């Protein structure tokens, strides 16, 4: 099996890419190591110039890049354009702020102590297909500004997005070999992590993949950052703005055809407003119509592969067998298209209660109190994000403190933006991406004392 660029709607195969040999992988790692030795000596002014060039080139190629995303993984073109724009925004953000983020911190002890933040070296990243530019660039951009080199393995169904990323970096003035894609098989991952030149590893993907990579990182004593799955709760309290909550939460659940780790997946709705909210949400769900993702008016595209749609339908069927009801939608329309669904009366013994539902199905649960909502929200192996809808800020703040997750948003959907840290706890991952916390993940934290 090789990397294959295939249209998930039509099945058209654009191109196949063979796996890199062990020799080719070693040569790429050596090239990255050589490039990083030069790059780390470059001033922040030079790094900034290159990063601003990258932002400019991304925007200049915006439509072509977005069309590539849509062709390879089925995202609506309007969402693909937004993804590309966010990559350019993030490049500009770190160009402007990285130097300040990496300034030394000082501590007063028995004398003055300095903590400096320097580059680690060559960092290896493994990335999925659901945000094929954004997931990679939010790793590559801060890594480069910190003085590191970035090697990455992309998902096997989005290889042309990987090629585009490398091309954009190369034409922006960065050292040759500083960013490279490895057409690596799963069997070669240990070889890459074990290489002495590779100083750290990051993975965005499934819980199973994260566990495997973390084990390898531990075996070879390498720093690891993991951004894994999520089953984010969305808590709707009686005083919430129900219309706004329904509109924004439906967007959170159904954008990218439900293929987002931070989508609102479990809706915990207070009994006093349950029926009204479910009705409002269903009205919003009906506005998402699966169609050709290349057309500008389409607001729901395809799942990225047939096997992914198979899994979603298996989860829904299991829920129905355990007594749940599909209030709306949830129908298989084609190999890779499922209509947006609203699932109610879910039995805790069913798979959708325990597993991440990575598709366009919203799961609803009736709760009688804030305490019950909190207990059910935390009754998950995941801990990525959560949203709370209420007019009472103090109440939301108190609930947020008790939620077992890495991010809590009030009266909004959970998002990823360059200025805010992104990541979870429990089985949702280790470490943080983005913001000052993200750029410092792949740096040395060196104590210099006394001054």
Domain spans of the chain? Answer: 3-228+428-448, 232-417
- Specify the pLDDT at position 1: 64
Q: Work out the angle between the directed axes of helices 77-101 and 44-60 (0-180°, nearest 10).
A: 170
- Specify the pLDDT at position 355: 98
d(CA 356, CA 257): 14
Task: Tell me whether the CATH fold assigned to 3-228+428-448 matches the one assigned to 232-417.
Answer: no
Q: What DSSP designation does 258 have? A: G
pLDDT (tens place) for every residue of the chain, 451 residues total = 699 999 999 999 999 999 999 999 999 999 999 999 999 999 999 999 999 999 999 999 999 999 999 999 999 999 999 999 999 999 999 999 999 999 999 999 999 999 999 999 999 999 999 999 999 999 999 999 999 999 999 999 999 999 999 999 999 999 999 999 999 999 999 999 999 999 999 999 999 999 999 999 999 999 999 999 999 999 999 999 999 999 999 999 999 999 999 999 999 999 999 999 999 999 999 999 999 999 999 999 999 999 999 999 999 999 999 999 999 999 999 999 999 999 999 999 999 999 999 999 999 999 999 999 999 999 999 999 999 999 999 999 999 999 999 999 999 999 999 999 999 999 999 999 999 999 999 999 999 999 9
Q: How far apart are the first and last CA of the chain?
A: 57
- Specify the pLDDT at position 276: 99
Say which of 261, 284, 355, 405 is annotated catalytic: 261
Which CATH number is 3-228+428-448's, of 3.40.605.10, 3.30.1360.120, 3.30.70.3280, 3.40.50.720? 3.40.605.10
Say which of 164, 227, 356, 370 is annotated catalytic: 227
List, in order, residues 6 or more apart from 199 with CB less than 8 Å away.
Answer: 120, 121, 122, 123, 222, 223
Query: Domain 232-417 carries which CATH code?
Result: 3.40.309.10
Q: Is 261 a catalytic residue?
A: yes
- Specify the pLDDT at position 240: 99
- Specify the pLDDT at position 352: 98
d(CA 83, CA 69): 9
Q: What are phi and psi of 224, to 5 degrees?
A: -135, 140
d(CA 73, CA 358): 14
d(CA 265, CA 358): 9
**Residues facing 113 on adjacent strands:** 107
66: buried, middle or exposed (CB in 10 Å: 19+, 13-18, 0-12)? buried
d(CA 430, CA 442): 13
Q: Is 284 a catalytic residue?
A: no
Q: Which long-range contacts (CB under 8 A, 24 or more apart) does 6-12 make?
A: 6/72, 6/157, 7/71, 7/72, 7/74, 8/72, 8/73, 8/74, 8/157, 8/302, 8/303, 8/304, 8/305, 8/306, 8/336, 9/74, 9/292, 9/293, 9/301, 9/302, 9/334, 9/336, 9/337, 11/335
């Amino acid at each position: 099996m090789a990397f294959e660029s295939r249209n998930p709607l039509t099945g058209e195969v654009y191109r196949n890419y063979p796996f890199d040999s062990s020799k080719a992988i070693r040569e790429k790692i050596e090239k990255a190591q050589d490039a990083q030795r030069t790059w780390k000596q470059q001033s922040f002014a030079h790094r900034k110039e290159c990063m601003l060039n990258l932002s400019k080139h991304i925007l200049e190629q915006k439509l072509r890049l977005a069309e590539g995303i849509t062709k390879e993984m089925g995202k609506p073109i309007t969402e693909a354009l937004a993804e590309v724009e966010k990559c350019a925004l993030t490049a500009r953000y770190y160009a402007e702020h990285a130097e300040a983020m990496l300034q030394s911190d000082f501590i007063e002890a028995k004398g003055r102590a300095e903590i400096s933040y320097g580059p680690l070296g060559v960092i290896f990243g493994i990335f999925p297909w659901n945000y094929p530019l954004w997931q990679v660039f939010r790793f590559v951009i801060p890594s480069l500004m910190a003085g590191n080199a970035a090697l990455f393995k992309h998902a096997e169904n989005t290889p042309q997005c990987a090629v585009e990323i490398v091309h954009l970096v190369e034409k922006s003035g960065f050292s040759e070999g500083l960013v490279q894609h490895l057409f690596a098989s799963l069997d070669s991952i240990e070889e890459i992590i074990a290489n002495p030149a590779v100083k750290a590893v990051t993975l965005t993907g499934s819980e199973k993949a994260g566990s495997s990579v973390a084990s390898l990182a531990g075996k070879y004593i390498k720093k690891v950052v993991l951004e894994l799955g999520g089953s984010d709760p969305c808590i709707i309290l009686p005083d919430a703005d129900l219309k706004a909550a329904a509109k924004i939460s439906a967007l959170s659940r159904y954008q990218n055809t439900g293929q987002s780790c931070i989508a609102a997946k479990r809706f915990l709705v207070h009994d006093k407003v349950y029926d009204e909210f479910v009705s409002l949400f269903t009205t919003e769900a009906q506005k998402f119509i699966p169609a050709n993702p290349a057309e500008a008016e389409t607001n729901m595209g395809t799942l990225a592969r047939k096997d992914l749609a198979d899994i979603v339908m298996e989860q829904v069927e299991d829920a129905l067998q355990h007594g749940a009801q599909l209030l709306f939608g949830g129908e298989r329309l084609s190999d890779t298209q499922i209509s947006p669904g609203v699932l109610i009366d879910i039995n805790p013994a069913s798979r959708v209660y325990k597993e991440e539902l990575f598709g366009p199905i919203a799961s609803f649960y009736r709760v009688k109190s804030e305490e019950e909502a909190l207990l059910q929200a935390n009754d998950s192996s995941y801990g990525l994000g959560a949203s709370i809808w209420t007019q009472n800020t103090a109440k939301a703040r108190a609930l947020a403190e008790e939620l077992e997750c890495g991010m809590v948003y009030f009266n909004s959907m959970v998002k990823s933006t360059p200025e805010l840290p992104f990541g979870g706890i429990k089985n949702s991952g280790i470490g943080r991406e983005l913001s000052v916390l993200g750029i410092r993940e792949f740096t040395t934290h060196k104590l210099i004392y006394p001054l």
